[in-house]
Structure 1
Amino acid sequence: MNVDLVVIGLGYVGLPLAQEAVRSGVSVVGLDLSDAVVDGLNQGRSHVDDLADADVTEMLGKGFRATTDEAVLADAAAVVICVPTPLSEDSGPDLRAVTSATKAVGRHVHEGMLVILESTTYPGTTEEVVKPLLEESGLVAGESFHLAFSPERIDPGNPKFGMRNTPKVVGGLTPECTEAAAALYGRFVDTVVRARGTREAETSKLLENTYRHINIALVNEMARFCNELNIDLWDVIRCASSKPFGFQAFYPGPGVGGHCIPIDPNYLSHNVRAKLGYPFRFVELAQEINATMPAYVTHRAQNILNEAQLAMNGANVLLLGVTYKPDIADQRESPAVPVARQLQALGAQLSYHDPHVTEWQVTGLDAKRVDDLDAAVAEADLVVLLQNHSSYDVDALANGSRRFFDTRGVSTNGNAVRL
């Protein structure tokens, strides 16, 4: 084959994967539907947080190229599908991008090809959706070509763990398929973990994120009653974290964001309901709790103004940090959006500051970006810290404000009210 690997979908998952493979000497072509993404990459411009323009330029220098032409698949020894799987209207995964990418591969699949799905989805997708589409070619998965699933584990903005040093789970349709996938990833990932099959690999990703989802919901619910009981939950967590075994710290906040935590557990819950006919109660309760946190934050913000004999209607409220996690520009499912909408519905005059977001465009939301942070903090009736970017000196900001609401529990300044 002329190409070792074609990566379909050049977003926050596919592009770092392509980068690490290229670094290790694998010949890689990126395939994406977006002309803008492809043209930008071929000109050395990155569109994801974890890669700088210089990283893309380095990739190009080592032979990487991007294309919108699926014909490249005919020359590929292996294909990895890294396309989005958002929630559909019935809370299941929207597989349209997966089926579209799979059909494209099916038009070019050949003897000996390795096809791997990385897109997060419900257990059984690889066997029930991807396999039949590929076999429309007349070739048989597990015999004519290899088929496997490997869950993506990219953590955008994580300076410690990236593609190479995060263990890679792989599960094939057959043991031979598993070994073929392990051999590919073993060229550019330090540790490969073999699952029993595709369903185990698919479910492992959902378990990881369901674990986080449920534990975040636990501390979010504790935040509510600890506030009512005048208990400092942040100090409670600090004390509990001193135990060297049996406890892992999770922290409350204004809601959950990103593609994984608010979405992935729903795939599992939807699958259980659809196939078994009963609810996955832990997940559904966690979703209920986490989804109400923006309303709780809004209520607390209103109370802070009430205590100062001020109304939310007409108040100047400054939001700090509108991304879903610190130090990145990614805004997917950010809780800042529902918080802002609910504050605006109460009549607040909103502004925002975020060092990573120059334009925050949300339908129906009127929030202007401030450039002079210190002046805006001093002028606001209420400052709400929604995301703790490392560039923020939170205690100094709290000290310079009239009222400061810290939803991340990072302030030590007595002027701040913590969630």
Structure 2
Amino acid sequence: MSLKRAISNRTARLGVIGLGYVGLPLAVTAAQRGFPVTGFDIDPAKMTRLDAHDSYIGAVRDADLKTLAAAGKLDWTTDFSRLADCQAILICVPTPLSRQREPDLSFVIGTAREIARHIRPGTLVVLESTTYPGTTEEVLAPILAESGLTPGKDFFLGFSPEREDPGNAQYDTRRIPKIVAGSGAEAGDLVERLYAGIVEQVVRVPTTGTAEAVKITENIFRAVNIALVNELKLVYERMGIDVWEVIDGAATKPFGFMPFYPGPGLGGHCIPIDPFYLTWKAREYDAPTRFIELAGEINTAMPHHVIDRLREVVDREAGLGLSRARILLVGIAYKKNVADMRESPAMKLLELLAEAGAETAYIDPHVPEIPPMRDYARFTGCPARDPASLKPGQFDAVLIATDHDAVDYAALLGLGCPVIDTRNAMARRGLPMERVTKA
């Protein structure tokens, strides 16, 4: 049976490599749409939880894992030799930055080499990982060709960037429009046909480079605009103007304005990282990327600004330096109402507080303990405090880094110490602001 026909009648087995925030929801959605799916990951701990039908991703329900596994529509493995059974392979692995802010494609490259060992003629391979324009053709295709198969003839290659938004119940994997492109017309037709069977709307663009640039552009747009409001916050702060009130006022304009909000820094896997993939690639063309680099500088500086404001408040209210202060950090995840810790600015705040000698504790209803993280190994396993155990007099200041809805903000005021609020959480809930400093 041809690949086109197998995709159309949903008998083509899909292999999804990387069962994280992107891959697992994609695998589940494809299986719910009738495709047989095998998920691949190198982490045996994920396999243990999946075997118990215990989802570690908020967007995936335990019941869905159990139902799909029982129906034979979804399974998972660390055995990459089973890629040989897949007619379409979707790559959803991380693309981090090195410490020098250069693209780290080691996961993509390692995955491509694994596929090359097992790929069969007629297979479709689609990269979903965010990367710089040119990666699919310049990096992925040559590695896959080491299999002895010819791209466009013996196998087909495409790019379709992930667009997951953890914690967004309105837009799950199936409802988010999907950008697709193929390396050549036939590959493009296959990629379009495949994703049309998984999601509600498919948007085809001419080339894989275009599709790669679409994703990078989306995240640069957000990074630059967040940097803008962060800079405005600093300016308006000196003028005695509340930037949150300014943004709320400007947002009433029904055209020409889109609200972005300041914060303690950038978090998540995309916005702090992806723009620098383009700045790196742009050097190859001697093309300056001043807006992107300036936005990066502003956003990277925000945790330091927050700590400076905290230092001022603790000195003024308690007569203490940070080296003798006891600080409660509220919210350790990068985003409200999720457990996602990727690039969380709260971790940078925690590190800066530790370097200053402060005694710290944190609460977070979604993160019971800090997981292993590449840049913050010293905090691995640190447990969250039980909010019920917090008493007045235990802390010299409260620092709100992430505004989870499940936090009792009125109770934080009851601790009797100043609150430094980076998310406007107190004002949005109409709470007394006498001891609250926005930062």
So what's the TM-score if we normalise by structure 2?
0.91
- Asked whether 1:417 is paired with 2:431, we answer no
Structure 2: which 5+ runs fail to align?
A: 2-10
8 Å contact from structure 2 (residues 365, 407) kept in 1: no
Give the secondary structure class of the aligned counterpart of 1:313: helix
Give how far 1:394 is off: 2.6
- Asked whether 1:370 is paired with 2:379, we answer no
Match of 2:87 among 65, 77, 81: 77
Match of 1:198 among 208, 224, 230: 208
8 Å contact from structure 2 (residues 161, 179) kept in 1: yes
8 Å contact from structure 1 (residues 374, 397) kept in 2: no
The match for 1:384 is: 399
The match for 1:101 is: 111
After superposition, give the CA deviation of every residue in 1:162-191 in whole Å (9 maximum; x if it has no partner).
Answer: 110000000111121111011111111000
Larger CA deviation: 103-112 vs 116-125: 103-112
Give the secondary structure class of the aligned counterpart of 1:165: coil
In 1, the alpha carbon distance for the partners of 2:370 and 2:170 equals 28
8 Å contact from structure 2 (residues 266, 345) kept in 1: yes
The match for 2:19 is: 10
Moved over 6 A (4+): none
Q: 2:394 is matched by which residue type in structure 1?
A: E
In 2, the alpha carbon distance for the partners of 1:89 and 1:369 equals 28
Match of 1:304 among 313, 327, 342: 313
The match for 1:143 is: 153
Show the 5 A alignment for 1:332-371: 332-360=342-370, 362-365=376-379, 369-371=384-386
Q: 1:418 is matched by which residue type in structure 2?
A: K
In 1, the alpha carbon distance for the partners of 2:356 and 2:277 equals 34
Larger CA deviation: 319-328 vs 88-97: 88-97
Q: 1:51 is matched by which residue type in structure 2?
A: V
In 2, the alpha carbon distance for the partners of 1:101 and 1:124 equals 17
In 2, the alpha carbon distance for the partners of 1:355 and 1:256 equals 20
Give how far 1:53 is off: 2.2
- Asked whether 1:35 is paired with 2:50, we answer no
Give how far 1:377 is off: 6.1
Larger CA deviation: 41-50 vs 229-238: 41-50
Question: 1:395/1:222 Cα in 2 relative to 1: closer, same or farther (>3 Å)?
Answer: farther
Show the 5 A alignment for 1:66-215: 66-215=76-225
Q: 2:396 is matched by which residue type in structure 1?
A: D
In 2, the alpha carbon distance for the partners of 1:137 and 1:359 equals 43
8 Å contact from structure 1 (residues 146, 173) kept in 2: yes
Q: 1:405 is matched by which residue type in structure 2?
A: I
Larger CA deviation: 388-397 vs 314-323: 388-397
Give the secondary structure class of the aligned counterpart of 1:266: helix
Give the secondary structure class of the aligned counterpart of 2:323: coil
The match for 2:261 is: 251
After superposition, give the CA deviation of every residue in 1:258-285 in whole Å (9 maximum; x if it has no partner).
Answer: 1001000010111102x11343111110
8 Å contact from structure 1 (residues 213, 262) kept in 2: yes
8 Å contact from structure 1 (residues 22, 62) kept in 2: no
In 2, the alpha carbon distance for the partners of 1:235 and 1:90 equals 37
Give how far 1:346 is off: 2.1
- Asked whether 1:242 is paired with 2:260, we answer no
8 Å contact from structure 1 (residues 314, 348) kept in 2: yes
Show the 5 A alignment for 1:211-230: 211-230=221-240
Question: 1:386/1:377 Cα in 2 relative to 1: closer, same or farther (>3 Å)?
Answer: farther
In 1, the alpha carbon distance for the partners of 2:392 and 2:229 equals 29
Q: 1:106 is matched by which residue type in structure 2?
A: A
RMSD of aligned alpha carbons: 1.8
Give the secondary structure class of the aligned counterpart of 2:68: helix
Give how far 1:355 is off: 0.7
So what's the TM-score if we normalise by structure 1?
0.95
Give the secondary structure class of the aligned counterpart of 1:304: helix
Q: 1:388 is matched by which residue type in structure 2?
A: D
In 1, the alpha carbon distance for the partners of 2:379 and 2:368 equals 15
8 Å contact from structure 2 (residues 318, 396) kept in 1: no
Q: 1:34 is matched by which residue type in structure 2?
A: D
After superposition, give the CA deviation of every residue in 1:383-414 in whole Å (9 maximum; x if it has no partner).
Answer: 11110001123345335432111100122222
- Asked whether 1:318 is paired with 2:328, we answer yes
Structure 1: which 5+ runs fail to align?
A: none
The match for 1:57 is: 66
In 1, the alpha carbon distance for the partners of 2:392 and 2:68 equals 42
Work out the percentage of aligned pairs sharing the same amino acid: 43
Larger CA deviation: 74-83 vs 137-146: 137-146
Larger CA deviation: 99-108 vs 207-216: 99-108
After superposition, give the CA deviation of every residue in 1:116-154 in whole Å (9 maximum; x if it has no partner).
Answer: 001111110100011111112222211222110000001
Larger CA deviation: 305-314 vs 281-290: 305-314
Give how far 1:202 is off: 0.5
The match for 2:277 is: 267
Larger CA deviation: 71-80 vs 55-64: 55-64
Count matched residues. 418
The match for 1:294 is: 303
8 Å contact from structure 2 (residues 391, 415) kept in 1: no
Larger CA deviation: 79-88 vs 107-116: 107-116
Give the secondary structure class of the aligned counterpart of 2:256: coil
